[in-house]
Homo-oligomer: A and B are copies of this chain.
């Protein structure tokens, strides 16, 4: 049994849950939209599925829903934000206009967020920049759950990297968002709930032996990086950019053991913005359109982001389908 919920109604419901749990009104609106956006676009492992994690983290006192981010304008092309132990999305929203201004003025801007929590997908952070004509790259480290290539114990996070670029004439920018672990934690949790096996080469159990059992990965086991040593190198880079550069924690540094239910990694986030107008001699958006056309010519059946874009289109027309049970749970959370 499913209900079709209109996108604005889902945002309003999720916002009420955040507000109910001590999140500032404006921050609650940002987080609710972010989570509803994931559900709307079929990124289910970062949609309403994550609400329990958000709320448990807030209630445990691990993350501060009332945090007010502090913006530090550290250089003409650099903006640092101390999220004050709040959510990274709220910090990003606070620094967004300044970062765009810097990128337009100087050609490039790095936004370095620290002391922050990120529990969502990364594509919602970069896509809006591409809609304003910028090229955007972001990376965020998480919690130690991924074994470096050739290593013996988990050290890196799932460490996603997301990229967005404008494409002239297309209704959507070209956007990808990928975990540098073999799969995302959300997907492991979804597989565990559904009782499904993981693909080969995704993870190891507590003894370090390869496994396809999601429960074994979640209970003392760990993920592997994607693409062997190459994915591991990229994951290492994300630790350096997300933590060493921003002043945030590495994935292995924070200790949440005293906060029962805490699920939000307390790390940092790296965002790079480039104004492509400062670049080549021909329009970037036109060139990106050339590349897309050529990829279609090579019979690529689906571009990065296509699945999300078509889910979005359907959801905006017909509503977002949510099971009655899940909807009842969310409604109860808004009253609890």
Contacts and interface: CB of A to CB of B under 8 A. Distances in A.
Nearest to A288: B244
A272 interface: yes
Contacts of A55: none
A261 interface: no
For this chain, the copies found in one complex come to 2
A65 to B, nearest CB: 24
A280 B75 contact: no
A196 interface: no
A302 interface: yes
Interface string A55-93: 000000000000000000011111010000000000000
Contacts of A301: 150
A147 interface: yes
A212 to B, nearest CB: 17
Interface stretch (A11-19, A106-114, A213-221): A106-114
A109 B108 contact: yes
A231 interface: yes
A294 interface: yes
Q: How big is chain A's contact interface, by range? A: 35 or more
Given A76-B76, A108-B110, A230 B233 contact: no
Contact of A236 (B135, B282, B304): B304
A295 B108 contact: no
Interface in A259-309: 268, 272, 274-276, 278-282, 284, 287-288, 290-291, 294-295, 297-302, 304
A333 interface: no
A19 to B, nearest CB: 31
Interface in A84-143: 105-110, 112, 114, 135, 137
A176 to B, nearest CB: 4
A267 to B, nearest CB: 12
A298 B75 contact: no
A178 interface: yes
A203 interface: no
A7 interface: no
A153 B297 CA distance: 9
A169 interface: no
Contacts of A155: 294-295, 298
A209 B197 CA distance: 29
Contacts of A228: 226-227
Contacts of A240: 135, 165, 174, 284, 287-288, 291
| 7 A-B pairs with least C-beta separation | A247-B280, A227-B227, A78-B107, A75-B107, A244-B287, A151-B298, A152-B299
Given A112-B279, A153-B299, A244-B276, 18 more contacts: A75-B278, A76-B106, A78-B275, A107-B110, A114-B280, A148-B298, A150-B302, A155-B294, A155-B298, A165-B244, A174-B236, A226-B227, A234-B234, A240-B284, A243-B287, A244-B291, A247-B279, A247-B280
